[in-house]
Amino acid sequence: MKSTISRRTALKRMSLAAGGALSAELFAHGRATDKPSELAVSVLLNEPIGTIKPAIYSHFTEHIGGVIYDGVWVGRDSKVPNIDGIRRALVDHVRRLGNVVIRWPGGCFADKYHWRDGIGPADKRPRRFGRWQEVTESNQFGTHEFMRFCRLCGAEPYFGANVGTGSPEEFQQWVEYCNAPAAKTTLADERVANGSDKPFGVRYWGVGNESWGCGGKFTPEDYCREYRKFTDWLPGYGVPLYLIAAGPDGNNLDWTRRFFKKWTDFARAPIQGWAPHYYCGTTGHALKFSNDQWYEMLDKANRMEQLITDQWAAIGEFDREHKIKLVIDEWGCWHPAGTEINKRHLFEQMGCLRDALAAALTLDTFNRHADKVDMANIAQLVNNLHSLFLADGDRFVATPTFHVFEMYKPHQGARAVRIAVQAPEVAFKAAGKERTLFRLAGSASVKGKDLTLTLVHTHATDPAEVSIQLKGVSDALASGSEIRQVVLTNEKLSAHNTFENPDQVMPKSKALKGDPLSVKCVLPPASIARLDWKLG
Ligand code: AHR
């Protein structure tokens, strides 16, 4: 359903309405309105869900297009400001994202990658061809450079092992090279000779990637057999390994059930994480879409909710105690080519406000399932799909999605609590059919005295007045509490940050007045908001 007034008019009317001059005029559901509709959120402080692992705010860097070469690695002799060859601006920004994990070297690349190609003197490393499309891989960025990148960012590494074209022996030797204490084994000596006395202590290991596709085109049963071979008798060298098995393409329950049926047949190989990948795709174009396509895109992103509950239930049929958690190690929007900043950057896309809302509603979904999701990695960190950053030579910009991750940081390590939302749905049309999408959704968490509520307001044209009630907190705790509101929005749904105009979509913060137990706030159309309380 198309709006009847422009977003600019709606925003002007909203500021009037927020000042108290409310018009009584009512419009049909899903259309622009003069009166901000009243919506309500209750934060149920005594209904805990679980601790939000900081790792659900994690990232992915693959040897593909411009992610590693140009995005992360500019080379030691580059004019681009760098630390030992690693782009300094990227490090400075990733440091702002909290205790996150970075996955590497793929993706599809991981199942073609032989880790020994990327160690030792840089000028002696082999050049390989065609590992992700027809390009040469210089191997200038390998295990030590990736570890340096993680250390500089304060991030934890997550390595993806090669099941497609590698062997269990090659995988187990990589673990040994990374984790064996100095002088313990020949591979540990080699690591020391290559400059790293201390073991890397890598906990997270993915055993194959998209094994139903580019990772070997296995059946779930065949992949399960390979998984067993790769993980049998795998020494940890004192590091508690967290092993991740390749889950389905999206919410394919057949892959999950067949893998786990095989898994229970005989030997239950060690698995800590199950990794479905979900790309919500696109509607229209990265920067050109109708209001209907705006809603349809967000609706597709919102299918993560169903994926989590379905996959969790399917795993539970075999792992009744739910020891295995979900690791959504690739997710995000995937738009058609055309907005690359550099044609060599495969899959690079310009992320706009719509991508920011898709990211925010997905992070809220993960928070609401904090008991099920151990890690999630948006694809990919820089110069690719749904990226937080775009970089080309010495130019660098943070996308609106970066601001979402930074806004949501207070949730990391906090205890998720339930919220109840009362709001009408928004109607839209997709493929000629009437559909609906939530108008307001979010998540809340508590860490010490800090209460954080994040909200995504999807209405493309109308503002909303939201009443927020804190339930299950004593008046004494809430009294005197300050409330701050941070909002990310823009008048244009396709607003984005560019090298020339990097601050087009930026969060804005203000204090909210009123009773902390029952506060009202106005959310602009198409916005993401964070509200912070400091409880007494
Ligand atoms: O993120 C780009 C590609 O998408 C990855 O290499 C692969 O795992 C997925 O299909």
For residue range 488-499, list pLDDT tens digits in order: 999 999 999 999
Which is the closest atom of ligand 1 to the Cα of 347?
2
Q: Is 62 a catalytic residue?
A: no
What is the pairing mode between strands 86-87 and 395-398?
unpaired
Q: Residue whose CA is closest, atom 2 of ligand 1?
A: 107
The span from the CA of 84 to the CA of 443, in Å, is 39
pLDDT in tens, 197-210: 999 999 999 999 99
| 359: nearest Cα among 79, 59, 75 | 59
The span from the CA of 369 to the CA of 366, in Å, is 5
Contact 69, 59 (CB under 8 A): no
| pLDDT value of residue 476 | 63
The span from the CA of 177 to the CA of 100, in Å, is 23
Q: Residues 6 or more apart from 18 whose CB is under 8 A from it?
A: 36, 463, 465, 522
pLDDT in tens, 99-155: 999 999 999 999 999 999 999 999 999 999 988 888 999 999 999 999 999 999 999
> Does the Cβ of 108 fall within 6 Å of ligand 1?
yes
> Does the Cβ of 206 fall within 6 Å of ligand 1?
no
* Residue 196 CB-half CA count within 13 A: 22
Q: Which residues pair with 455 in a beta bridge?
A: 442, 529
Q: Residues 6 or more apart from 315 whose CB is under 8 A from it?
A: 256, 260, 274, 322, 324, 326
Distance 480 CA to ligand 1 centre (A): 49
From the candidates 62, 145, 210, 406, give the one annotated as an active-site residue.
Answer: 210
- Copy the structure tokens of residue 140: 């200038």
State the pLDDT confidence band at 15, using cuts at 50, 70 and 90: very low
- Copy the structure tokens of residue 467: 């009443």
Q: Residue whose CA is closest, atom 6 of ligand 1?
A: 107
Distance 110 CA to ligand 1 centre (A): 10
The span from the CA of 387 to the CA of 408, in Å, is 16
Gap between the terminal Cα atoms of the chain? 45
Instruction: Determine the angle formed by the axes of helices 253-265 and 220-231, rounding to 10 degrees.
Output: 50
Residue 514 has pLDDT above 90, yes or no: no
Q: Is 330 a catalytic residue?
A: yes
| 527: nearest Cα among 407, 381, 370, 429 | 407
pLDDT in tens, 315-363: 999 999 999 999 999 999 999 999 999 999 999 999 999 999 999 999 9
- Copy the structure tokens of residue 382: 């820089």
The span from the CA of 494 to the CA of 139, in Å, is 37
| 307: nearest Cα among 352, 342, 263, 256 | 256
From the candidates 137, 156, 305, 330, give the one annotated as an active-site residue.
Answer: 330
Contact 423, 521 (CB under 8 A): no
Q: Residues 6 or more apart from 472 whose CB is under 8 A from it?
A: 44, 45, 46, 47
Q: Which residues pair with 450 in a beta bridge?
A: 447, 534
The span from the CA of 482 to the CA of 533, in Å, is 6
pLDDT in tens, 35-86: 556 799 999 999 999 999 999 999 999 999 999 999 999 999 999 999 999 9
| pLDDT value of residue 9 | 43
Distance 109 CA to ligand 1 centre (A): 8
Distance 380 CA to ligand 1 centre (A): 9
Which is the closest atom of ligand 1 to the Cα of 385?
1
The span from the CA of 365 to the CA of 443, in Å, is 7
| Burial of 274: CB neighbours in 10 Å, binned 0-12, 13-18, 19+ | buried
For ligand 1, mutation pick of 330, 377, 385, 386 (most atoms within 8 Å of CB): 330
State the pLDDT confidence band at 2, using cuts at 50, 70 and 90: very low
Which is the closest atom of ligand 1 to the Cα of 108?
6
> Does the Cβ of 463 fall within 6 Å of ligand 1?
no
Q: Which residues pair with 452 in a beta bridge?
A: 445, 532
- Copy the structure tokens of residue 280: 């919500």
Q: Which pTM was predicted? A: 0.93
Contact 389, 380 (CB under 8 A): no
Distances (CA, A) of 64 to 58, 82, 195: 18, 20, 27
| pLDDT value of residue 480 | 65
Residue with tokens 């055993």: 207
Distance 106 CA to ligand 1 centre (A): 7
